[in-house]
Structure 1
Amino acid sequence: MNLHAFYNQEHIGDVLLIRLTHIRKVTHFLREDDLCILYHQDKVIGYNLFHASSYISHLSEGKVKITPTFVDELNAVLTKYQQDTVTSDYDDHFRVGKVVEMKEHPDSDHMHICQVDTGDEILQIVCGAPNVALNQLVVVAKNDAVMPSGLVIRPSKLRGIESNGMLCSARELALPNAPQVRGILILDEADYQVGDSFFK
């Protein structure tokens, strides 16, 4: 299950937003005390949990890290309201990758088609960053990764070429003191290895 959660107390209050699927269109909802159940037709696609800090410990602003404790606490709430419990693979889908092949996009003057080794598979990723180059170590947001902005990475086509993932900049990763310029984050081989979880 692709379990994602977001918390922004400053702007929306003590409410935990929970996403269970890539489907985003809510057709109707049902509110039961502190739990709002979000539906797309007859399928539950997420929840809004009000007074969230009363139920879930150690909530952090932004994208919430999914841990066994988080899942247990959330499932206690769902069981209380007779909802199906949830699971997680606890994988944030951010990996250290290496650009092992690169060629120009046939329909773009700035995009490149990259083959990127993530340790367990080679991914084709279309990248428009001006600094991408062969043999670089990079941060790969694989499919189902959730960016700090809330964007979920999905398979796509860019100018007709399939792309499975994204090569990330420091700014897109919301790293402290990230430069506000275009360009992916290049990692030092002394500090990272292909296949590492970036946010380890």
Structure 2
Amino acid sequence: MLLHAFYNQDGIGDVLLVRLGQGNTVRYEKNNDLVILYDENNKVIGYNVLSASIYFENLNTGLVKITEEFVDSMNKLLQANELELVSSDFSYKFIVGQVVEMKDHPDSDHLHVCIVNLGNESTQIVCGASNVGEGKLVVVATIGSVMPSGMIIKPSTLRKVPSNGMLCSARELKLPGAPDVPGILILNGEEYQVGQEFIF
């Protein structure tokens, strides 16, 4: 299950936004401190948890890291309201990768087709950043990642070339002090290793 959550007490109050995947909300029901969100097929696609700090500890602003403790807290709340429990994939989603091969896109004058080593596998990612290059360490948002903007990373095809993930900029990751200039984030090889989780 693709489980992700957002929290911004200053922006919307003590409300935790939990999503179980993709889809558009077409109706909702309120059940105590839970607002249950449904899509057009009457499938539950998420919850808004009111008074969230009562049920969850140490909520940070922005994208909430999904841990076993978070899932346990969510399931206690769901169980108390006689609702179906949730689960989550705890594998790393943002990974330090290394561009091991790069060539020009056959149908673009600015896109590059990169083979990126993620430690236990390699993947192909199409990237338009001018500062990408072979040997560079980068932050890879893998399939299923949820960007701070709320965008979910999915397999895509860019001008007929498959792309499985995204090479991230500091601005896209909303890192403090991120420069307002184009280009992906290049990591220092003395601080980061290929395959490790990138925590932000």
TM-score range with shorter-chain normalisation?
Answer: over 0.9
The code of the aligned residue for 1:195 comes to G
TM-score, scaled relative to structure 2: 0.95
The code of the aligned residue for 1:18 comes to V
C-alpha displacement of 1:92? 4.3
CA RMSD of aligned residues (A): 1.3
C-alpha displacement of 1:24? 2.1
Q: Which residue of 2 aligns with 1:114?
A: 114
Cα distance in 2 between the residues matched to 1:65 and 1:93: 11
Residue 40 of structure 2 is aligned to residue 31 of structure 1: no
| Contact 1:8/1:62 (8 A) holds in 2 | yes
The code of the aligned residue for 1:48 comes to N
Deviations 1:83-136 (A, max 9, x none): 111122323400111111111112211110101010121111000001001111
Q: Where do residues 35-46 of structure 1 align in structure 2 (5 Å cutoff)? A: 35-40=34-39, 41-46=41-46
Cα distance in 1 between the residues matched to 2:172 and 2:141: 10
| Contact 1:115/1:124 (8 A) holds in 2 | yes
Cα distance in 2 between the residues matched to 1:19 and 1:156: 21
Identity fraction in percent:
56
Say if 1:62 and 1:92 are closer, same or farther in 2 by CA, change over 3 A: farther
Q: Hey, which bits of structure 1, 4+ residues long, moved more than 6 A?
A: none
Q: Where do residues 1-200 of structure 1 align in structure 2 (5 Å cutoff)? A: 1-21=1-21, 23-40=22-39, 41-199=41-199
Cα distance in 2 between the residues matched to 1:91 and 1:39: 27
TM-score, scaled relative to structure 1: 0.95
Cα distance in 2 between the residues matched to 1:172 and 1:92: 18
Q: SS of the counterpart of 2:100?
A: strand
Q: Which deviates the most, 84-93 or 155-164?
A: 84-93
Cα distance in 2 between the residues matched to 1:43 and 1:158: 31
The code of the aligned residue for 2:122 comes to I
| Contact 1:92/1:146 (8 A) holds in 2 | no
| Contact 1:79/1:85 (8 A) holds in 2 | yes
The code of the aligned residue for 1:104 comes to D
Unaligned runs of 5+ in 1: none
Cα distance in 1 between the residues matched to 2:85 and 2:117: 35
Q: SS of the counterpart of 2:71?
A: helix
Cα distance in 2 between the residues matched to 1:26 and 1:147: 20
The code of the aligned residue for 1:128 comes to G
Cα distance in 1 between the residues matched to 2:82 and 2:107: 52
Unaligned runs of 5+ in 2: none
The code of the aligned residue for 2:23 comes to R
Cα distance in 1 between the residues matched to 2:176 and 2:118: 24
